[in-house]
A and B are shown apart, each in its own frame.
Chain A
């Protein structure tokens, strides 16, 4: 190694790297970076779709154009499904109130940006279903950290955590570093933070024992944190873990959407 560095002509490669880093940090490279990021969009989308095909996912049924139509349809489907669920559990008065809250998409006409997934970030060796996804839309398209990401069915699959001019990174709900402000549709409307567990499920812990939670209760976004509106479905309670000698209980939630073969998503902009 010493012999290598004694040969002075190798130092200029390090200088080149340092100049690249400095130019990036001061912003001189931004025009080139933006151009390259935009330039690769169609190619990277196609390559990602080909790679996803090996997972056996039905990627060719979706397109940017059709997603807007599907989103409108799923917004109403989502509201109806949640209303049906809550009808079984709540009084008519509560149901009407919830209907107003959970029909926010229809009532408020939130803007949604459709985006293709162009890569999965594997750097930190996350589990296969918990790898962050990289979208081909960024700051220039109105995205910002904290926005909710939904699939074609209107189910929350993650949230934006980092943005560049023409791309964004989103964590998936099953990722251990992906926290969402959430609420359970049980009698007491338990609120808390949901986070991923082992790349497979979602957990919500530190719930007081007095809260009554049942299997199949629906977990929705609470609207208390980030920029994600209230009422988007995250998952369904699969297991309630409560022991009489514990202060807290926790619940395991199964996501209602398949996360391993996503190709097109929408970002809700409230």
Chain B
């Protein structure tokens, strides 16, 4: 029981550190690197490294800290990250089950797109004035940010996956060969 509690406390501290890195360090980086969303990459790898219960805790904790420190409508991050985690879990369980590099790259793309959609939906719900969400689809800045978020996330996921593949036998960097 005490091991469980220590584990959950460590997960919360880890999530807080990741959220703080996103909040202060990544946001201060020059364009386009400030578009990278560390939280999404962390959630993708949490399903690889931990069990699903731990992954829900990480997603909720990341959302909680992000909502706490940022100035967007409260609840946007916690809900969008949780539902993104749900989608990642469903894809990993039902579609991309072979845990290869390509699976994780595809999951990363899905995660970024799904999180963007959920974030916009919850912004519309929580930000009643709509001042911050209007006409974003026609904004080149929005599409530029999305593209760079995708590219950077794919690079980081590819790099971390390759490192983990060297250290662990649970991962396969490439698809299985056909016989």
Contacts and interface: CB of A to CB of B under 8 A. Distances in A.
B20 A40 contact: yes
A52 B28 contact: yes
B141 A37 contact: no
Interface string B68-112: 111110111011001000100110000000000000000000000
A131 B123 CA distance: 17
Contact of A120 (B28, B56, B74): B28
A184 B52 CA distance: 60
A126 B141 CA distance: 7
B35 interface: yes
A162 B132 CA distance: 14
Contact of B78 (A4, A20, A118, A124): A20
Interface residues of A, number: 46
A119 B27 contact: yes
A132 interface: yes
A119 B86 CA distance: 28
Interface string A100-122: 00000000000000000011111
Most chain A C-beta atoms within 10 Å of own C-beta, residue among B20, B28, B142: B28
A127 B141 contact: yes
A50 B27 CA distance: 11
Interface string B14-52: 001000110111111111011100000000000000000
B64 interface: yes
Nearest to A132: B71
Contacts of B5: none
A241 B90 CA distance: 56
B145 interface: yes
A78 B64 CA distance: 43
A37 B75 contact: no
Given A4-B86, A20-B64, A37-B69, A122 B35 contact: yes
Given A47-B28, A119-B23, A17 B60 contact: yes
B74 A177 contact: no
Given A17-B79, A33-B68, A119-B69, A55 B30 contact: yes
A93 B8 CA distance: 72
Most chain A C-beta atoms within 10 Å of own C-beta, residue among B29, B71, B79, B145: B71
A172 to B, nearest CB: 14
B78 A21 contact: yes
Nearest to A199: B141
Given A13-B60, A24-B74, A47 B24 contact: yes
A41 B15 CA distance: 17
Interface string B113-156: 00000010001000000011100100101101100000000000
20 contacts: A13-B56, A20-B64, A24-B74, A37-B68, A40-B69, A44-B69, A47-B24, A48-B24, A51-B24, A51-B28, A51-B29, A54-B29, A55-B29, A119-B23, A119-B70, A122-B35, A123-B123, A164-B71, A167-B71, A177-B131
Interface of B: 16, 20-21, 23-31, 33-35, 56, 60, 63-65, 67-72, 74-76, 78-79, 82, 86, 89-90, 119, 123, 131-133, 136, 139, 141-142, 144-145
Question: Which 8 A/B pairs are nearest by Cβ-Cβ distance?
Answer: A51-B28, A47-B24, A169-B71, A44-B24, A47-B25, A128-B31, A120-B27, A125-B145
Interface of A: 1, 3-4, 13-14, 16-17, 20-21, 24-25, 33, 36-37, 40, 43-45, 47-52, 54-55, 118-128, 131-132, 134, 162, 164, 167, 169, 177, 260
Given A4-B89, A24-B75, A47-B20, 4 more contacts: A16-B60, A47-B21, A122-B27, A123-B119
